[in-house]
Amino acid sequence: MRKKSLSFRSRIFLAMILLVLLASILIATVTIYQYKEQSEDYHEGRLKRKEQNIKTHLRRFLNSRYNTWEVKTENVPFIFKDEIYNISDIHKLQISLYDLEGGLLISTVTGSKKDLAEKCLDAEILNKINNTAEHKHLDRHQENGETFQSSYTYITDQKSKPLAILNLPYLENGDFLSNELQEFLERISVAFLFILLTAFAIAFLLSKYITKSLKTISDKINETRLEKRNQKIDIDDTSEEISTLVNSYNSMIDELEESAVQLATSEREQAWREMAKQVAHEIKNPLTPMRLTVQNFQRKFNPEDDNIHLKVDEYSKTLIQQIDTMSSIASAFSNFAQMPAQKNETLNVVEIVKLALDIFNENYIVFSSSSDEVIAKFDRTQLIRVVTNLVKNGIQAIPDNQTPRIMVNVETQNNHIVILIADNGTGISEENLDKVFEPKFTTKTSGMGLGLAMVKNIVETHQGTITFASEKDKGTTFKVTFPKG
């Protein structure tokens, strides 16, 4: 089973909503990424500024009058014995000083952090400090779920000679920035929600506007019929693509009307040809025996024959019989060609059907009705014609070696009149089921095959239907249904 796809309007609507959602997600992702980058840059810059200030503070103390010690590496613990705590307190940062070999000289780190600080610096850190142009190294690591930075750089004496290695451990406290990010995301979420709702409305209106012209074209195409005059599409303020489609449809309508006229003309001509052939064929059949009869009478005519009057009488009867046949042919074609005129009148269907059956006078025709009076609006003459043709058709379908039986029933069903006419004839073969109501179709040796076609025409003119059910060698039942009013 073929899966039903989404309509063009739904695709436009969903595409626009998806575009807004993707844009919102992308903006949020870029915002969070930008925050992380800015946060790292902020903490790195802050540590760099503090490092520069602490180095300046240490150099000033080394060169001040408060320092009574000789400025060299082994005296660093004595030089900054007390001052290092003041500097740490002023700059709100822990300070550790190492010798040039990586051994700890002095530190303000206490507790477990001091134990960590008492370790010698790794050779990798010493190499990075020595081998960089700025003689600096920045290390970032995670500890207990928190991010720490550690900067390593030289402090120098007055001659810019390295005196010790300064280590500043720095905790990246991002609570403030995290709160700012959360507030920003909350605000942008509200904005995104508003944009999304707006996008829903715009997408709905835009998709409706885009598909409005297509819906008009689709409706016109669905209404297009070959047998009627079709209206062209007139749409203002459309895109170039829609205008091209409309122009193509209008051109197709012009071509369709021309083709319909040509087809109707061709069909009429073909119908007249077929009708002329049928009339000629049916008239030719009785003319042939009439010609032979006249020729035979002319050849054997003898005024002195004692039986001349008897022969003239037989000759006249033969001609009259063939003339009657030609008259019935003309009447049949005339009745079929005449479109039934609806002269509806309120009548009792039961009474009219009984009247139609009276002309047969056969006792094997059995009539029944669900009620003595079934009122409906129908043309009296045409109703009689329908019944007589169907009954006559049933009689002709019964073989001569079989006891005939025709059942006629009138009943009402859901505000409709139903007439059933059943026979016990030979039935209709399977290959002829689709041809029963076609003009000129007949399985009998006599007749023109117009009776059932005429019945169908009358019934459909009165907004009714005619169907049949047939079983081979058991009979056929015709069902005529038409509304009461």
Q: What's the confidence (pLDDT) of residue 410?
A: 94
Rounded Cα–Cα distance for residues 211 and 7 (Å):
10
- 225 phi/psi in degrees, rounded to 5: -135, 145
Q: What's the confidence (pLDDT) of residue 110?
A: 73
Q: Is 280 exposed, middle or buried (0-12, 13-18, 19+ CB in 10 A)?
A: exposed
Rounded Cα–Cα distance for residues 101 and 130 (Å):
11
Q: What's the confidence (pLDDT) of residue 406?
A: 92
Q: What's the confidence (pLDDT) of residue 117?
A: 46
Residue 203 has a CB neighbour count (10 Å cut-off) of: 20
Q: What's the confidence (pLDDT) of residue 113?
A: 45
R_g over Cα of the chain: 56
Residue 436 has a CB neighbour count (10 Å cut-off) of: 20
Rounded Cα–Cα distance for residues 88 and 108 (Å):
7
Residue 81 has a CB neighbour count (10 Å cut-off) of: 11
Cα distances (angstroms) measured from residue 339 to each of 329, 334, 455? 18, 10, 11
Rounded Cα–Cα distance for residues 200 and 202 (Å):
6
Rounded Cα–Cα distance for residues 238 and 212 (Å):
10
Contacts of 49 (CB under 8 A, 6+ apart): none
- For the four alpha carbons of 35, 39, 42 and 45, in that order, the dihedral sign comes to negative
Cβ distance 439 to 453 under 8 Å? yes
Q: What's the confidence (pLDDT) of residue 481?
A: 93
Cβ distance 62 to 68 under 8 Å? no
Is the pTM of the predicted complex or chain greater than 0.75?
A: no
Q: What is the mean pLDDT of each run of 10 residues along the chain (485 residues)?
A: 60 79 84 79 81 87 81 85 86 88 85 53 85 83 75 85 87 67 79 82 76 70 64 64 71 74 69 65 64 71 74 74 68 58 80 85 87 88 86 87 91 91 88 74 52 82 88 90 86
